[in-house]
Structure 1
Amino acid sequence: MTPVDVVLIGRNEGHRLKAALASVAELARQVVYVDSGSTDDSVAAARAAGAKVVNLDMSTPFTAARARNAGFDALDAPEYVQFIDGDCALVPGYLDKAAAFLDDNPKVGMVTGWRSEIHRDVSLYNQLCDWEWRRPAGTILACGGDMMVRAPLWRAVGGMNPIVIASEDEEICVRFRKAGWLLHRIPEEMTRHDAAMTRFGQWWQRAIRSGHGFAQVGHLHPEYFARERMRVWTYALVLPLIALAGFVTQLWLTAFILLIYLLNYLRTVQGLRRGGMRWSEAWPHAALIALSKFPNLIGMLRYHARRLSGAEMRIIEYK
């Protein structure tokens, strides 16, 4: 079987990083940990675990894309590379299954599996993250940052785009596909994630970051995130403006817009239910999904303001 190398990225992940390092111990040919200015014992913990440590140059604004690129560049003659975030722990047996799939499917350039939340029911926001991670297995368009990639493909596309601050993983997946490769999700548990998202403000910031990703990746690849961007413009800008206009002119127009929101909410509930979500979770999750359009809009506008002004693309953190 083709050997696998692992790249971990993180900053001040504490016990989460130690769990991530322990989960890959003796399973990978090489382990590289890229640290992004941690002030805790992350670097010492990585060295103690036998990982090669790369300290990311923090004179340039941090992005996860830069960190993953630095980790890949530090590997010695890689063939398959598994990328893992420092707040994730690898599920035993996954590396062998993913590598075997790439060995058996030469047209597949990247493979991923299922990520799940360690503390799923600690908060509604963790539950929503867990739901987002669980997508159908098979040929896919894109995935999150936990992925196994053929090293020649990574080099061929030039790695991740270092200025993309959100959805950088989806952006590189678009380029993988444009390079003629298939992407696949195998029906296997891959990583356990610790979102540690317990406050509304954290969820709001995360949704702003998602909106920034919609706009930035959409600017680079107009066909991607097109539906997401249209929904944000419609539900967070156009319909509210029409409702406001109706409030000062024709109240029935405002009532009609509110009805549209209600129907959209009910449709979202039904969609979650069809996907297997319990009723008790579908109602509040649908409300968050509906509300998310507004912080998404903030993120999209922030990206375009930065782009037009030439400002630096700085990350939007929620932890």
Structure 2
Amino acid sequence: MSAASIGAVVIGRNEGARLIRCLRSLQGQVQQLIYVDSGSSDGSAEAARGLGAEVVDLDLSRPFTAARARNAGLAALRSGIELVQFVDGDCEVDPGWIPAAAAFLRTRPRAAAACGRRRERFPQASVYNRLCDAEWDTPVGEAAACGGDALMRVAAVYTAGGYRESLIAGEEPELCLRLRRAGWEIWRLDAEMTLHDAQMLRFGQWWNRSRRAGHAFAEGAALHGAGPERHWRTETRRALTWGAVLPAAIAAAGLISPALLLAALIYPVQVLRLSRRMGYERALFSVLGKFAEASGALEYHWRRRRGTARGILEYK
């Protein structure tokens, strides 16, 4: 499949130099380059136009979501574009990725999406960047979902109805679930795909990102958890159990007898248990992250009961 039938949709908000690097990595690789701007104030839209990208400005009267941005870019694709590379504006696309992914999709007519290895550009800058880099290292082969960077068949995404615009996070796995229900396949290839710049240097950033994940888990489970895939039910249950139910139970027990507060030792024990599989650093933050995820999940259910929706939760 030639570049003549491939487009790219880049989404971003105030990404600065990262966006420039992203757009330049796509020049000459696609026939149509689209940048969807979500209200940037740093001149991103003007810089993108200067690099030859078509710019779509999201309607400021509606809440921003990455799903909205991707759908807006999808709608701007010209007739004849068969494949679209979705990519976040803080990522640089590997020069070999699009040819490799397009060749794979050509040989797998039921494959709707292909993703590869996303890596952190500066994994040693912080423990939080290293955690991201490990998170991106997903198993190679047929997969349940891809992330924000993926080469997709335009027809498959249209047929599935595009991204669910109300989701503040987790929109990619939700779309992939609907694609798989329609008989499509999602693949993770053994190929370099993108360099991502999380720029996550503070604990508060990591906490907000984890809280957003918990919100996504709870909303995804509410949408599709009753289906055969049990979408994100396990992740939601773990977050609520370790991050809310157990702490509340231990605190309540401590009111009866202070000695019962020793039950809190279950958390360091869990860290040591997980360390055997993922190493101490990842294990520690996996356990700590359950508190943030529980916060996000509880917020989702609280807002759902009140009939209100949350805006985007940024960590940069």
- Superposition deviation, residue 252 in structure 1: 5.0
Aligned equivalent of 1:126: 129
| Correspondence for 1:237 among 236, 241, 244 | 244
| Correspondence for 2:146 among 143, 148, 156 | 143
Q: Helix, strand or coil for the counterpart of 1:13?
A: coil
**Runs (5+) with no aligned partner, structure 2:** none
- Superposition deviation, residue 251 in structure 1: 4.6
Does residue 207 in structure 1 map to residue 210 in structure 2? yes
Does residue 298 in structure 1 map to residue 295 in structure 2? yes
CA deviations 1:163-195 (Å, max 9, x no partner) are 000111111111111111111000001000000
Does residue 176 in structure 1 map to residue 179 in structure 2? yes
Cα distance in 2, alignment partners of residues 37 and 259 from structure 1: 46
Q: Helix, strand or coil for the counterpart of 1:103?
A: helix
- Superposition deviation, residue 295 in structure 1: 1.0
Aligned equivalent of 2:232: 225
Q: Helix, strand or coil for the counterpart of 2:92?
A: strand
Cα distance in 2, alignment partners of residues 284 and 232 from structure 1: 19
CA contact (8 A) 1:164 1:313 kept: no
- Superposition deviation, residue 105 in structure 1: 0.7
Deviating above 4 A after TM superposition, structure 1's stretches of 4 or more consecutive aligned residues are none
CA deviations 1:102-129 (Å, max 9, x no partner) are 0001121111001000011000000000
Q: Helix, strand or coil for the counterpart of 2:95?
A: coil
Cα distance in 2, alignment partners of residues 202 and 313 from structure 1: 18
CA contact (8 A) 2:114 2:146 kept: no
**Runs (5+) with no aligned partner, structure 1:** 273-281
Q: Helix, strand or coil for the counterpart of 1:214?
A: helix
CA contact (8 A) 1:163 1:313 kept: no
- Which residue identity does 2:184 align to in structure 1? W
CA contact (8 A) 1:246 1:253 kept: yes
Aligned equivalent of 1:314: 311
Relative to the length of structure 1, the TM-score reads: 0.94
Cα distance in 1, alignment partners of residues 255 and 63 from structure 2: 45
Q: Helix, strand or coil for the counterpart of 1:159?
A: coil
CA contact (8 A) 2:215 2:299 kept: yes
- Which residue identity does 1:231 align to in structure 2? R
Relative to the length of structure 2, the TM-score reads: 0.95
CA contact (8 A) 1:124 1:285 kept: no
- Superposition deviation, residue 84 in structure 1: 0.2
Query: In the TM superposition, what are the counterparts of 1:10-49 in structure 2 within 5 Å?
Result: 10-49=12-51
Cα distance in 2, alignment partners of residues 49 and 230 from structure 1: 46
Cα distance in 2, alignment partners of residues 138 and 127 from structure 1: 23
Aligned equivalent of 1:276: none
| Correspondence for 1:262 among 238, 260, 268 | 268
Cα distance in 1, alignment partners of residues 182 and 6 from structure 2: 22
Q: Helix, strand or coil for the counterpart of 1:115?
A: strand
Aligned equivalent of 1:95: 98
CA contact (8 A) 1:242 1:254 kept: no
User: Identity of counterpart residues, as a percentage?
Assistant: 46
CA contact (8 A) 1:65 1:164 kept: yes
CA deviations 1:230-261 (Å, max 9, x no partner) are 11121112211221122122455432x33422
- Which residue identity does 2:22 align to in structure 1? A
Q: Helix, strand or coil for the counterpart of 1:149?
A: strand
Cα distance in 1, alignment partners of residues 302 and 256 from structure 2: 32
CA deviations 1:75-113 (Å, max 9, x no partner) are 102201110000000001100000000000112111100
CA deviations 1:22-53 (Å, max 9, x no partner) are 10001111100000111112111111111111
